[in-house]
Amino acid sequence: MPELRKDPIIGRWVIIATERARRPDQFSGAAQDGPAEKPCPFCEGSESKTPPEIYALRPKNTPANGPGWDLRVVPSIAPFLRIEGDLDRRGKGLYDLMNGIGAHEIIIESNQHIANMADLSDEQISKVLDCYINRIIDLEKDKRFKYALIFKNHGWSAGAGSIKHSRSQLIATPVNPKRVKEELAGARSYYEYHERCIFCDIVKQELASKDRLILDLDGFIAITPFAARFPFEIWIMPKKHSCDFVSLDADSRNYLAKVLKIVLSKLKKGLNDPPYNFVIHTAPFRRQKSGYWKSIDYDYHWHIEIMPRLTRVAGFEWGTGFYICPLPPENAAQFLREVQI
Amino acid sequence: MPELRKDPIIGRWVIIATERARRPDQFSGAAQDGPAEKPCPFCEGSESKTPPEIYALRPKNTPANGPGWDLRVVPSIAPFLRIEGDLDRRGKGLYDLMNGIGAHEIIIESNQHIANMADLSDEQISKVLDCYINRIIDLEKDKRFKYALIFKNHGWSAGAGSIKHSRSQLIATPVNPKRVKEELAGARSYYEYHERCIFCDIVKQELASKDRLILDLDGFIAITPFAARFPFEIWIMPKKHSCDFVSLDADSRNYLAKVLKIVLSKLKKGLNDPPYNFVIHTAPFRRQKSGYWKSIDYDYHWHIEIMPRLTRVAGFEWGTGFYICPLPPENAAQFLREVQI
């Protein structure tokens, strides 16, 4: 059973992922490049190579776990967290831990062997966004969970492993991720003083200055953030205030799909298909019910953070929280604006 | 001039390092392995290849910037921060920034071409520790600086670049690193409730349980932390309470050198010379003068964090603050205890 353990000093929860545990001697040596790709378990026709599907977009006359689908969601074969069981929060001396309960799902974005989400059609990306929303709504019903994290690892050095087939991941957790909590607290503090959403103010300032603006299209902007941590770090934000990604209506999903495709295509074309991660930052579950989160509808603003993995100078950043970005975000934005796709 | 920019939501300062800036198109493609090593600028006899030395351990009859030294400190040729100038804190709309003022020094740990600190003698490591302390004391006099960060990048994927010669880095900053602030706040909160130092309590619990204990020697312990973020993450802590690394006496420096050599040698031997980073966490400068820090002599406890770079599954961790560690720290500690050096 995996465990969730709390750092007693910082208060950060960490997953000790026993399901993926390797023996200590298997970590030997420097990080290597990925092994050759095996036959892909995520292509149409290989359904038996994955655990049974949780969700699929497929014609009604096709049976589950067979061909004919357009998009599939399956549990991870090596889940970081387990779906069955109780949290059993407990102490161990001064330490806090709980069972590693949660969901860990793989969203297979296409039945074709396409590696980069940038190469999916607008329509297919829109279906992927629909799927994210459907899965979050479903998992929110489970009272053990506080948050659903949608993220993507593209490319070996972004953590994608040896399988290239484009997919996203969803992790539902019984705790809120530290970074999300910090954002919520920071946004609330700004709101308390200014009585305005800090993200809305950022959208306004970026639209006015245009220095870090990559794209302004159909209700969304893509910017490089002012205090970028990484070269070509990109945030996609809805221009209209909304704390909750799940509340995105059908038209806006189509618009977001278009924006995402343009941004990912510019990254792919301009930077030679770099590895990247993206993470959707949205409001936690059941935010209305607790006093702490009661203002969140006004002070939080969902967005997507895209982090290309182009530098390795990130060693001491982990240890200090001090990021050094070797490319001014204004230069990155200008470069990406000019990439023709 | 590099800039320090503050993330308006999280409050984290980021260095936008113009001195190391590359053109956007130079980031193209996936991260590659390092280029072949050029003639080493850090070996004895190559003094003219570095900027003039700031500090050196050398016989009195040898001139500065010539051979004969035992250890040298030089400014970085591509400093993240600049030593000359005013901070000029200012706003830009809702954003906060200041000039990238600070110090960035390279501590060349040996006149021999030795790549891993594990292969220096105890005596030489002790001299390196002396040097850290001397440089921190010197930089603390500069009223513009709040913190001195000592860290080491070993191996290409830990950010060491193409030069293998063992060296540490020192960055003095006009702001406290976010992670340090979080530790200070967490430790203070624990102290306020318990009236005990949380690090001292951790030392006691780890010595009692022994599950995560790697070494208990001469007043120091080396442990894998309970909520480890990375496989084989290691903390070295003094058993006796002390908030300030600089206050380490001469005997303790020798003992710490011995402990550091054993731990780094176990990592090298047991894991085939893995890339790693270490960071010294110590109290900020001038902590006595401000009300906020007045309890820090009691509630903070300096320590060294060592982070081997053995996994690449760290993509979304950056975006979420949610770490997944694929090896229980108890297994890592047992493995390291058993490595014979």
- Which of B134, B155, B175 terminates a domain? The answer is B175
Determine whether the interchain pair B31/A310 forms a contact, defined as Cβ–Cβ distance below 8 Å. yes
| Contact flag A25-B307 (C-beta cutoff 8 Å) | no
Can you state the percent helix, strand and coil of chain B, rounding each to 5?
35, 20, 45
Question: Measured between alpha carbons, how far is A305 from A228 in angstroms, rounded to an integer?
Answer: 11
The minimal CB distance from B186 to the residues A9, A279, A309 is found for: A9
Q: Which residue type is seen at A203?
A: V
Residue B216 CA to residue B193 CA, distance in Å, equals: 28
Whether B84 and B150 map to the same domain: the answer is: yes
Closest residue of chain B to A336, computed from CA coordinates: B24
B43 and B12 inside one domain: yes
Residue of B nearest to A315 (CA): B158
**B13, B324, B336: which to substitute to probe chain A, counting the most A Cβ within 10 Å?**
B324
Cβ neighbours of A320 in B, within 8 Å: 149, 151, 177-180, 279
Q: Model-level pTM?
A: 0.91
Whether residue B69 sits in one domain with residue B169: yes
Contacting residues of B for A16, CB less than 8 Å apart = 227-228, 325, 328-329
Query: What pLDDT is attached to residue A31?
Result: 44
Same domain? B84 vs B210: no
Residue reference for tokens 């022994």: B210
Q: Which residue has the tokens 């997919």?
A: A167
B298 and B270 in one domain? yes
Q: Is residue A197 part of a domain?
A: yes
- Count of structural domains, chain A: 1
Which of chain A's residues have a Cβ under 8 Å away from the Cβ of B159?
312-316
C-alpha distances out from residue A71 to A159, A161, A254, A292, Å: 22, 20, 16, 37
A125 sits in which H/E element: helix A122-140
Neighboring chain A residues of B327 at a CB cutoff of 8 Å: 21-22, 24, 27
Predicted local distance difference test score (pLDDT) of residue A30: 44
Q: What share of chain A is helix, strand, coil (3-state, %, to 5)?
A: 35, 20, 45
What's the distance, CA B222 to chain centroid? 16
Which chain A residues are closer than 8 Å to B94 by Cβ?
198, 201-202, 205
Q: Shortest CB distance from B27 goes to which of A13, A149, A327? A: A327
- Picking from B287, B325, B291, B100, the residue whose alpha carbon sits closest to that of residue B180 is B287
- Please identify every stretch of chain B with a pLDDT value under 50, giving residue numbers as ranges: 30-31, 289
Least Cα separation, residue A62 to chain B (angstroms): 35
Q: What is the DSSP letter of A112?
A: S
Taking the C-alpha atoms of residue B29 and residue A248, their distance in angstroms, rounded to an integer, is 34
Q: Which of B10, B227, B324 sits opposite A6 (nearest CB)?
A: B227
Parallel, antiparallel, or unpaired: how do β-strands B323-325 and A71-75 relate?
Answer: unpaired
Q: Tell me the shortest Cα–Cα distance from A45 to chain B, in angstroms.
A: 28
Collect the ranges in chain A with pLDDT lower than 50.
Answer: 30-31, 289
pLDDT computed for residue B29 by the predictor: 53
Task: List the single residue in B with minimal CA-CA distance to A81.
Answer: B324
- Whether B162 maps to a domain, the answer reads yes
Q: Does a structural domain hold residue B146?
A: yes
A66, burial (CB in 10 Å: exposed 0-12, middle 13-18, buried 19+): middle
| Among the partner residues A93, A209, A319, nearest to B179 by beta-carbon distance | A319
Domain co-membership, B148 together with B163: yes
Nearest of B153, B185, B186, B190 to residue B169 by alpha carbon: B153
CA A109 to chain B, closest CA, distance in angstroms equals 19
Q: Are residues B140 and B210 in the same domain?
A: no
User: CA of B60 to nearest chain A CA: how many angstroms apart?
Assistant: 35
Q: Would residue A195 be called left, alpha or beta, if left means φ above 0 and alpha means ψ between -120 and 50 degrees? A: left
Asked if residue B223 and residue B84 are part of one domain, the reply reads: no
| Chosen domain end from B160, B175, B190 | B175
Residue B66's pLDDT is what? 96
The verdict on residue B335 lying in a domain is yes
Residues A4-43 as b/e (b if ≥16 CB within 10 A, e otherwise) read bbbbbbbebbbbbbbbbbeebeebeebbeeeeeeeebbbb
Nearest-neighbour CA in chain A from B121: distance (Å): 23
pLDDT at B289: 47
**ipTM score of complex:** 0.88
Alpha helices in A213-328 (DSSP H): 250-270, 296-299, 315-320
CB B187 within 8 A of CB B198: yes
Residue A148, strand partner residues = A172
The CATH number linked to B200 is 3.30.428.10
Question: Does B83 fall in a domain?
Answer: yes
Residue where a domain stops, chosen among B175, B200, B225: B175
B204 shares a domain with B170: no
> Do B216 and B304 belong together in one domain?
yes
- B4/B115 same-domain check: yes
For residue B135, the enclosing domain spans 1-23+35-175
Is residue B316 a part of any domain in this protein?
no
Quick check: is A29 in a domain?
no
Residues B182 and B165 in one domain: no
In a domain, B30, yes or no: no
User: Which residues of B are less than 8 Å from A173 in CB distance?
Assistant: 322
List the single best residue of B14, B272, B278, B304 to mutate versus A (max A Cβ within 10 A).
Answer: B14
